Amino acid sequence: MTNITAEEVKKRLDAGEQIHLLDVREPHENAEFNIGGILFPLGKIQSMQIEDIEDLRNKEVICYCRSGNRSGIAAMVLEQLGFINTKNLEGGMLGWQEKYK
């Protein structure tokens, strides 16, 4: 697992690059603000209920949460489950909103 900055993700999104974003927050957090990622709460990852994202196993997956803590855990767990290229969005949605209000 490596970290990725909000600036790098925004630049790639603005360029139209198709990237795989995984929002590991809870549904109510996602409803408040999101950047288009697949909603997949950390609890599902920790309980290894990953069938719905199995097709991302060999792709870059950028995890994000509110502050970067849960997404860091999610990225590490996914890596342990065989995902080959997981990244954690530094600062999460708090950092994103601070930069891109």
Residues 56 and 30: their CA atoms lie apart, in Å, by 20
The more confident residue out of 19 and 101 is 19
Domain count along the chain: 1
- Confidence (pLDDT) at 101: 75
Q: What is the mean pLDDT of residues 85-92?
A: 98
User: Does the structure show a pLDDT above 90 at 30?
Assistant: yes
- Confidence (pLDDT) at 16: 96
Contact between 61 and 83 (Cβ < 8 Å):
yes
- The strands making up 85-89's β-sheet, listed across from edge to edge, are 2-4, 85-89, 60-64, 20-23, 38-39
- Give me the domain span that covers residue 65: 2-99
65 included as an active-site residue: yes
Q: Which of 45, 56, 65, 77 is catalytic?
A: 65
Q: Residue 69: which CATH number? A: 3.40.250.10
